[in-house]
Amino acid sequence: MPASRQCSRYVVQTAASTLDFDTKSSLHAVHGKATQLSGFVDALCEDGVLALDPPPKMHVEFPIERLASGNGLQDKEMWKLLDSKRNPLIRADLRELRSGSGTSYSASGEITMCGRARKYDGTLTVVCSGDDITVDGSLKVDIRDFGITPPRFLMFSVQPEVNVRLLLVARLS
């Protein structure tokens, strides 16, 4: 009987992990970053390569009020728009990872924001190195998918599409 293959738990390293975002408004580009990411990656790395059997799992979350653009007034309006008091966290869960080329994988997952979960597909680069796993991915998220109406005020408007880049470093626990 073959030995059972088990995933190991890797814990997100808050100080080394970031989520960057950018979108456009009628006045200027909006750039920002989220900090205090937490979560885990359950995965099996064999000889520096991510195994797909057993299937890897990943969960990442962060407080909405850790989204910051550098403009305090703009940030407070963003937190209000995202209803941070009622739904204080944004969560992402990996549901499926399929082989791609090299360290690149096709991924399906779920993002939960404002109390609504939506499925997204994209590409992740996953690198196993010693006791660390690094996950790097980009995605375009439409805030209307979560019931959010992009803000408009007089001639000022914000685009509904937000480009998101996740750089996640997780260490073997």
- CB contact at 8 A, 76 and 84: no
Q: pLDDT of 38-93, one tens digit each?
A: 999 999 999 889 999 999 999 999 999 999 999 898 899 889 999 999 999 999 99
Q: pLDDT of 100-117, one tens digit each?
A: 888 999 999 999 999 999
* E runs forming strands in the chain: 8-12, 18-24, 29-34, 38-43, 45-46, 49-50, 57-63, 67-68, 89-99, 104-113, 116-129, 132-142, 152-153, 156-157, 161-172
Residue 170's nearest CA partner among 138, 136, 124, 121 is 136
**Average pLDDT, integer, range 125-141:** 96
pLDDT at 1: 43
Lookup: tokens for 62: 């962060």
pLDDT band at 154 (very low <50, low <70, confident <90, very high): low
pTM above 0.85, yes or no: yes
Q: pLDDT of 12-29, one tens digit each?
A: 999 999 999 999 887 778
